[in-house]
Amino acid sequence: MNTLGIKKQFYKNVIFLDWKWQIKNRLKGISFLSSLGIIPEKQVEKFRTLLSSYHFATTPYYFSLCHEMDYSDPIFRQIIPSLEEIEFRLPGSQLDPLAEKVYSVTPHLIHRYPDRVLIITTSLCASYCRHCNRKRFWSTKPWVINKKEIEQIVFYIKRNKNIREVILSGGDPLFINQNYLEYILKKIRQLQNVDVIRIGTRIPVVLPMRITSSLGKMLRKYRPIWINTHFNHPYEITKEAKKAADILSLNGIAMANQTVLLKGVNDDLDILSELFTRLEAMLIKPYYLFHCDCVQGTDHFRTSIKKGQELISKLEGRIGGLCIPKFVVDLPNGAGKAPCGPNFLEKIDGDMAVFKTWEGKKFIYKGASGA
């Protein structure tokens, strides 16, 4: 399949908007990559090695969002495999830096924080992100959680009364067969101690036509549900993505977004500010901006923490508070997420506090010590 010309043709075609067609016609394999002209003859073997560790698949829809056919394009860079994944390593990168294996309490259930647990529901996704922090799954046989594992998880949550929130993650939970997903949701909703169900998914970004009114109506029955999605660039905010967000919000689903700060994709003030304001307008609250985890195979995407802090500080005041996510580093060894500012309070001295305003001016505040 060739690229931009076909993109225009597709858009005129209703088939393009059918999610089943999108899944059936996913772009995969080395032959598609060759057709992009990114594999010089000498590197075919290296690309084979790359794909044997880190596979490649994406939807025609998501691929059609590329503006340029090279790694300078923010969409291309997120989905098209690059030799840097196997050839470039920074010190400290690991297979599982968040120690998710260590914190697993039953198969596929991670309990790191007191009041919430995370279920890894499947290894499958509609489109594979090159920066994925669960790349370690990519070499296992594809799997979806089975009924016995769900029973064990339900049993664990029932016994641990502190748990009030259950996060479905993956892989992509919305890529699971709808009836089976409903089976899982029903089981969790039956637990008295669980208030909130959260679903982490990239479907609204890479396959938004999958958010049908039938899926919306099904999810509606298991509210309160939060959908945490993963938009990284304004190119991803399309008519289709807006429609998906609309279906979810009209069905009473709350939405938030987790962006990963990625070198060459979105490490830029104007890009982030456009992304976050447009998400707010879709009723999706920008929730986290993640420093890219130290995961093997993703090192070339990592910016400095300082860069992240600079960007997030400059957003303050420039766009509304509802548009600004928390900048966090997910600390290795399962130490949890650490917010990294910005900090506008420079010093407290008795009753006097020294602030920096959003415009960068010094401000002396009296009344710091309180009653």
Ligand X SMILES: *Cc1c(COP(=O)(O)O)cnc(C)c1O
Catalytic residue among 26, 77, 130, 134: 134
Pairing of strands 345-349, 116-120: unpaired
Whichever of 46 and 337 has its CB closer to ligand X, that residue is 337
Is residue 132 among the annotated active site residues? yes
Site string for ligand SF4, 181-210 (x = CB under 6 A): ---------------------x--------
**Residue 128: which of ligand SF4, ligand X, none does it interact with, CB under 5 to 8 A by kind?**
ligand SF4
171 binds ligand SF4 (CB under 6 A): yes
132 binds ligand SF4 (CB under 6 A): yes
Kindly state the tokens that stand for 97: 């830096």
For residues 279 and 282, what is the distance between their CA atoms, to the nearest angstrom? 5
Burial (Cβ within 10 Å: 0-12, 13-18, ≥19) of residue 321: exposed
On whether the CB atoms of residues 354 and 362 are closer than 8 A, the answer is: yes
Kindly state the DSSP code that residue 176 receives in the 8-state scheme: S
Catalytic residue among 66, 132, 292, 294: 132
Is residue 112 among the annotated active site residues? yes
Question: Taking contact as CB under 6 A, which single stretch among the options 2-10, 62-70, 169-177, 182-190 is the one that binds ligand SF4?
Answer: 169-177
Is residue 278 among the annotated active site residues? no
The candidate with the shortest Cα–Cα distance to 297, out of 125, 130, 79, is 130
Kindly state the tokens that stand for 246: 């609309």
On whether the CB atoms of residues 329 and 291 are closer than 8 A, the answer is: yes
Is residue 7 among the annotated active site residues? no
For residues 179 and 202, what is the distance between their CA atoms, to the nearest angstrom? 19
The nearest distance, CB 258 to ligand X, in angstroms, is: 8
On whether the CB atoms of residues 121 and 171 are closer than 8 A, the answer is: yes
Site residues for ligand X per CB under 6 A: 110, 112-113, 116, 118, 167, 337
Is residue 318 among the annotated active site residues? no
Kindly state the tokens that stand for 61: 């829809």
Is residue 113 among the annotated active site residues? yes
Among 128, 226, 290, 327, binds ligand SF4 (CB under 6 A): 128
Q: What sign does the CA torsion over 257, 261, 262, 263 have?
A: positive
The nearest distance, CB 236 to ligand SF4, in angstroms, is: 12
| Cα angle for residues 181, 235, 300 (degrees, 5° grid) | 85
Is residue 330 among the annotated active site residues? yes
3-state secondary structure of 346: strand
For residues 178 and 275, what is the distance between their CA atoms, to the nearest angstrom? 30
Whichever of 167 and 244 has its CB closer to ligand X, that residue is 167
**Residue 167: which of ligand SF4, ligand X, none does it interact with, CB under 5 to 8 A by kind?**
ligand X
The nearest distance, CB 43 to ligand SF4, in angstroms, is: 24
Q: Which residues are catalytic?
A: 112-113, 116, 125, 129, 132, 134, 293, 330, 337
> Interface residues with ligand SF4 (CB under 6 A)?
125, 128-129, 132, 134, 170-172, 202
